Chain A
Amino acid sequence: MSDRGMKKWLPFNALIEQNEFLERMIYEKHKIKKPQISVEQASKIDRILKEHADNILTFRIYLDGYLYTFNGKIEKLDLPNHKIYFKDFFVPIKDILDIDDPEPFCSIS
């Protein structure tokens, strides 16, 4: 290397706030629309919640523009309010996109 490379183009960081706004803008920009789920998908979620609510399940959820996957055991199903409670947070049922089938081979019907 015969010069300082990107080091010489280091921004003059007079405004710490600029980075905050850039990060927020990028976060907002990369948000996606909530994916639609099919009727089959919905009935699959329904069936797993009914049959396997005591197991540790893998959930795929949509939250604030982003998709997340996590494993968890359901603490409480709050059906009147359409919420599923886990140990220290809850997820609205409408935000669940998929639950991995704990017994995939049995599900072929």
Chain B
Amino acid sequence: MENDVIFVIDMKAFYASIECVERGLDPLKAKLVVTDTARREATIVLSVSSALKAMGVPSRCRRRDLPKDIPDMIYATPRMEMYVKKSAEIVSIFLDYVGQDDIHVYSIDESFLNIGPYLKLYKCTPHELAAKILKRIQDQTGLIATCGIGPNMFLAKIADDIEAKHNKDFIAEWNYEDVPTKLWPIKPISELWGIKAGYTAKLNALGIYSVYDLAHFSKELLIDKFGLLGEELYNHANGLDEAKIREKYVPISKGLSLGQVLMRDYKKDEMPLILKEMTDELTIRLRKVNKNCNCVHLMIGYANMAEGGFAHQCELLTPTSINSELYKSIMYLFNTYCENKPIRRVGISYTNFSEKTATQLSLFSDVKTQEDEEEMFKTLDMVMTKYGKNSITRTSALTKSSTIKERHNQIGGHRK
């Protein structure tokens, strides 16, 4: 459609701003970082407030990299559940303005909205509507957002990334006419959305150093070099993007995975417990998507990075979604490949899904026990969904090396 008008609405220093508002501080002035002080120095800093960013604190860093000479810096412990709830509250505000089909939630603090079809209804310019939405967000939640406006998703995103935060009202509107004056001068080329270090090197090798160079390069040669991505890069450099918010792309789930970095070095004989707990957790998700798994994969990283680790996978004899069967395969991998070294990182994943329709009976397993076990785990799943994940655990959760209770109090690996 020609009359698309896309908004990208992005929350400024989302987690840090929420923590400021919770403390009654001005999110633009307070010097606050969100990081878990109970963890090691190498732990990640989840968010840095705008005032600190202006003082030169990098927005993505580790706690040891924070400057030590800022006396009134506030350390906030992450509260992931609150952030995710706030994020949903903000999407709920968008839903008051546009329909669900015209929203694309891009990340926890960033959404795309197509307001083209609604302009007649609201009888205002895109800029006015953006200001209205940003004001509503600020009034309701106290948080500051920025908005990029463009005729397609790409230009809106770039307008937001490059210009919106510098404007007084935090709104930047770009059109096709602005491409030569605003898009082409962007330097270096890696500033452009979608161009990472790897591509920068490849483009530099072709003599492309700026967005202008890319926009004036031979399209055919780019397609020849990079395939479909080459054409996409060329289009982006010319401010074109064919993506439509309504044409939602839902990836086919090819696998499930779970990983964790352990809080201390674990000995080899402590690992079976960790693996059992991780198997339990991932299998709940497997049963939720109602699939059987044919292949399990195990990754172990030793405490000493230089010693590396290993990653191996194995096929199962029969597809299954029963904890004990999957655990057996993972333990087989573990016992075959793991050396006796301290361990710090673990990851397991299930792939090669099949539908839970007919099952091939095996000579080596008892159907009745399998059915009983599956029934039992289904019941356990129901208990956990209703009363919370910590309502029922293995007794081993009480042992020293268990991490499961701790992990149940986390979202995305950070404190709930």
Listed in ascending order, the chain A residues whose CB lies under 8 Å from chain B are 1-12, 14-18, 21-22, 24-26, 29
Contacts and interface: CB of A to CB of B under 8 A. Distances in A.
User: Which of A2, A3, A11 has most chain B Cβ within 10 Å?
Assistant: A3
Given A9-B153, A15-B108, A3 B412 contact: no
B243 interface: yes
From A10, A12, A15, residue with most partner B Cβ within 10 Å? A15
Chain B: interface size category? 35 or more
Given A6-B248, A6-B249, A25 B92 contact: yes
Nearest to B251: A10
B194 interface: yes
A3 B228 contact: yes
Contacts of A17: 80-81, 84, 411-412
4 closest residue pairs by CB, A with B: A25-B88, A6-B249, A3-B232, A21-B88
Nearest to A17: B411
Nearest to A23: B88
Nearest to B86: A21
27 contacts: A1-B242, A2-B228, A2-B232, A3-B228, A4-B243, A5-B244, A6-B244, A6-B245, A6-B247, A6-B248, A7-B249, A8-B232, A9-B104, A9-B153, A9-B249, A10-B251, A11-B106, A11-B107, A14-B412, A15-B80, A15-B411, A16-B285, A16-B412, A17-B81, A17-B412, A21-B87, A21-B88
Given A5-B243, A9-B243, A12-B107, A22 B249 contact: no
B275 to A, nearest CB: 20
Contacts of A12: 107
Contacts of A22: 88, 91, 105
A32 to B, nearest CB: 15
Contacts of B106: 9, 11
Contacts of A4: 228-229, 232, 243
Contact of A3 (B80, B81, B235): B235
A77 to B, nearest CB: 30
B78 to A, nearest CB: 12
User: What's the dominant secondary structure at chain A's contact region?
Assistant: helix
B21 to A, nearest CB: 19
Contacts, number: 79
Nearest to B84: A21
Given A6-B247, A9-B112, A25-B88, 8 more contacts: A1-B242, A2-B242, A6-B245, A11-B107, A15-B80, A17-B80, A17-B411, A25-B91
Interface of B: 80-81, 84-85, 87-89, 91-92, 95, 100, 104-108, 112, 153, 194, 228-229, 231-232, 235, 241-245, 247-249, 251, 285, 411-412
B95 A29 contact: yes
B313 to A, nearest CB: 22
Nearest to A12: B107
B92 A29 contact: yes
Contacts of A14: 412
Given A7-B249, A9-B112, A18 B243 contact: no
B243 A8 contact: yes
Contacts of B251: 10
B249 A5 contact: yes
A26 B105 contact: no
A3 B85 CA distance: 34
A1 B80 CA distance: 39
A2 B412 contact: no
B256 to A, nearest CB: 10
Contacts of B105: 11, 18, 22
Nearest to A7: B249
Given A6-B244, A9-B106, A9-B153, A15 B412 contact: yes
A9 B242 CA distance: 11
Given A7-B249, A11-B106, A22-B91, A2 B231 contact: yes
A77 B218 CA distance: 78
Contacts of A7: 249
B131 to A, nearest CB: 24
Contacts of A24: 88
Contact of A10 (B80, B232, B249, B411): B249
Contacts of B95: 26, 29
Nearest to B112: A9
A7 B228 CA distance: 12
Nearest to B85: A21
Contacts of B107: 11-12
Nearest to B232: A3
Contacts of B112: 9
